[in-house]
Structure 1
Amino acid sequence: MRILVLEDDLGIGDALSSGLSEMGFNVDWLTDGALGLHAPDTAPYEVIILDLGLPNIDGIALLNHWRSRGIKTPVLILTARDALPERVAGLNAGADDYLCKPFAIEEVVARLYALSRRQRGQSNNEIDFGTLTLNRTNKVATLKGETVALNKQEYQLLDLLLSHPNKIFSRADIEESLYSWDDDIESNTVEVYISRLRKKFGKSLIKTWRNMGYQLDEKPKL
C-alpha cells in the first residue's frame, strides 16, 4: 500500500515514515502544504495522512482543494487531542477519519486498513481468490491452506492484483504502486516479481496482455 504523509513536525513525520515503512508500506513524506496541492496526482496513493497545521497551505485548504477536483483518496487527519474544532472542520471538509496526537503506529496501521477496506467495499482484511487467501493484517498468503512465503514486493504486487481483479496494470502502474519516490527500480523488476508469483501460485494466475500489462486470470483450484 502506498501512503502519502503530509506532516511538518520532523519527529512525527520521521516516526510515521520509518514506522510504516518497517511494517511494509511505501511512504512518501512532505512537510509543506504547498507541495501537497498536486501530490495526489503523482502516484496511486491508497490513503493520505494529513496534518492540519501545515506551513504555507494548511490541511483544511488542501482538503477543500482535493475534493473540489474530485480526488477521492481516503484522508486520515492528524490533530491535537484537544482540537475539537479542527477535527470537525477536517471531517466537514472531506476527511474520512481522524487520529489524535500522540498516537501508536499500530493504531495508524489499523485505521489505514479500515479506510482501505471502506474504499474497496470489503468487510475484512482477507481477500479470497479461489484457494488463494491474502490476509492484509498479518501480510500472509496461503494457497490451499498452506502458507506461501513472500517478500515485501511479492506481497505488495499480489495485494495490488487481488484488490483490483478486473484491472489491467501496466508496468508503470505497478512500479508506482510498489515503490516510493526514492526507491531505485531495475528495468526488469516487474517482470521478475510476476514470474515469482506465477511459480508460487501457478502460471495461469496472472495473464499478460501484450503491450498493455498484467491482470489476474484464473483462480487457483483445489
Structure 2
Amino acid sequence: MRILLVEDDVLLGQSMVTALSRQGYTVDWLERGSGVVTALKTEQFTAVILDLMLPDIGGFEVLKSIRRAGYAVPIMILTARDEIQDRVRGLDGGADDYLVKPFALEELLARLRVMIRRLSGATDSQVEVGDLVLSLDRQLVSCQGQELKLTNNEFKILASLMNSAGRVMSKDQLQQSLHGWEEGSSDNAIEVHIHNLRKKVPGNVIKNIRGVGYIIEK
C-alpha cells in the first residue's frame, strides 16, 4: 500500500515517513504541491496525505487540481488550519478526511485505514477476497483462519493485489508498492516474491496475465 505524502515541514515529513513505513506502507514524499498531479498521472497510490500550507501552491488548489484531473484517490488533509470554514472547504472540495495538527499517530493511522477500507469496499478493518482476509490494523493476512507467514515484501505485494482485486497490477506497479521512488528491485525479484507467495497462499489465487502482470480475482 503506497502513500503519497505532501508536506513541506522536513522534520514532520521525516517522522511520518518513518512511522508509516513501520506500519507496512510505502511512502513517497513531496515537499511542494506542483508535482502532485504529475505523480498521480505516472504512479499508482493507495492514498494521499496533503498539507494545506505549501511553499508554492496552496493545498486547496492542489486538491482542486487532483479532482479536476479525475483522480479518485482518497485524500486526507493534514494541516494546522483548524477553522470550521477550512474544514468545510476541504471536505466539500473533495477531501475524504481532515486532520488538524498536532495529531496523535494512532489517530492518523486509524483514519488512513478507514480511507483504505472505503477504497476496497470493506466495512470494517478487514479486506476479504475469497478465503483471504487482510487485517489493516494488525498488518497480517490469513487464509481460512490460518495466518500466513509472510516476509515484509511478500505482505506488501499481497496487500497491493488484494486492495486492487479484479484489476491487473504490472511488475512495475508492484515494484513501486515495495520501494516507491527509491531504487527498487528487479523484475526477477518480483517474480521470486510472487513464486514464494504462490507456495504460501493456497488455491493458486494469484494469476499471471502474460506480458501484463498479476491479478487476484474478486
The 5-angstrom pairing of residues 5-16 of structure 1 reads 5-16=5-16
Deviations 1:52-100 (A, max 9, x none): 0001101011111111111111110012263333222211221111001
CA distance in 1, matches of 2:119, 2:144: 28
Q: CA deviation at 1:39?
A: 2.2
Could you tell me which residue of structure 2 aligns to residue 33 of structure 1? Answer: 33
CA distance in 1, matches of 2:115, 2:80: 21
- The worse-fitting range, judged by mean Cα deviation, of 2-11 and 83-92 is 83-92
Could you tell me which residue of structure 1 aligns to residue 44 of structure 2? Answer: 44
CA separation of 1:12 and 1:93: change in aligned 2, threshold 3 A: same
CA distance in 2, matches of 1:181, 1:121: 28
- The worse-fitting range, judged by mean Cα deviation, of 168-177 and 91-100 is 168-177
CA contact (8 A) 1:79 1:86 kept: no
How high is the TM-score relative to the length of structure 2? 0.92
- The worse-fitting range, judged by mean Cα deviation, of 8-17 and 53-62 is 8-17
CA contact (8 A) 2:129 2:165 kept: no
Could you tell me which residue of structure 2 aligns to residue 85 of structure 1? Answer: 85
Q: Which runs of 5+ in 1 are unaligned?
A: none
How high is the TM-score relative to the length of structure 1? 0.90
Q: Which has the larger radius of gyration?
A: 1
Runs of 4+ that moved beyond 6 A = none
Could you tell me which residue of structure 2 aligns to residue 140 of structure 1? Answer: 140
> RMSD of aligned C-alpha atoms?
1.9
What is the aligned length?
Answer: 218
Q: Which runs of 5+ in 2 are unaligned?
A: none
CA distance in 2, matches of 1:89, 1:216: 38
The 5-angstrom pairing of residues 15-26 of structure 1 reads 15-26=15-26
Could you tell me which residue of structure 1 aligns to residue 62 of structure 2? Answer: 62
SS, match of residue 38 in structure 1: helix
